[in-house]
Structure 1
Amino acid sequence: MKLRIEDNTLRLRLSDAEVQEFAATGRVAAAVHFGDAAGQQLTYMLERAVVPAVRVRYAPGALTVLVPAALADAWTATDQNGFSEHVALADAQQLRILVEKDLDCRH
């Protein structure tokens, strides 16, 4: 799964295998390691959840994009390439979230 962060935009691109894993289990995760000590990593994941709209959960070292079950099921079961949402943040800011299929990717 590819992660791209730019300004207030978070973009996840999933390979075909990752889309299939998400459809089957409701979760797909990846990690970026930054050092040689335990815990020096960022784990990022996409998770099907009981939420009214797309949400983001952040904790030190972990970033989770929560997707409503109906949206997750519709996205994985069709040829719809992706979806995007704007999540309200503090100080009247917004985070744009994009989740896309990266089906041409061969990794």
Structure 2
Amino acid sequence: MKLRFEVNSLRLRLSEAEVRQFAETGRVAVVVSLGPTAAESLTYALERVEAGELRVSGGAGTITVKVPAALANHWTTTDENGLTATLMVAENQPLRILVEKDLDCRH
């Protein structure tokens, strides 16, 4: 799974295998070591939740994009390539979330 940040946006791109894993287990996560200890790492994840809206949460070394189950099930079982939402994380501070299937080109 690839993570990309740009000004006011966060983007996750999942391979076909990761989309399957997400469909089967409801979670895909990657840990990036930034130093010699576990505390010096960044974990980013995509997680299925029962209800609500597409959202993001963050904490000490973690970023989790949460997708409602109905939306997750539709996305993983159709040809729909992406999920997107714009969240207001603070006054006048939108954050655009984009989750995409990073599928191989098939010519």
TM-score, normalised by the number of residues in structure 2: 0.93
RMSD: 1.2
Q: What do residues 27-83 of structure 1 show as CA deviations (whole Å, max 9, x unaligned)?
A: 100011111122111000000002321111110101100001111000000011111
Q: Say which SS state the counterpart of residue 100 (structure 1) adopts.
A: strand
Q: Percent identity?
A: 58
* Structure 2: distance between partners of 1:79 and 1:100: 11
- The alignment status of 1:7 with 2:10, answered yes or no, reads no
The letter for the 2-side match of 1:26 is G
Q: What do residues 10-43 of structure 1 show as CA deviations (whole Å, max 9, x unaligned)?
A: 0000000000000000110001111112211100
Alpha carbons 1:87, 1:95 under 8 Å: kept? yes
Runs ≥4 residues deviating over 3 A: none
Match of 2:94 in 1: 94
Residue 51 to residue 94, structure 1, CA distance change in 2 (3 Å): farther
Q: For 1:40-51, what aligned pairs fall within 5 Å after superposition?
A: 40-51=40-51
The letter for the 2-side match of 1:62 is T
Match of 2:61 in 1: 61
Q: Which runs of 5+ in 2 are unaligned?
A: none
Match of 1:75 in 2: 75
Q: Which runs of 5+ in 1 are unaligned?
A: none
TM-score, normalised by the number of residues in structure 1: 0.93
* Structure 1: distance between partners of 2:7 and 2:32: 19
Number of corresponding residues: 105
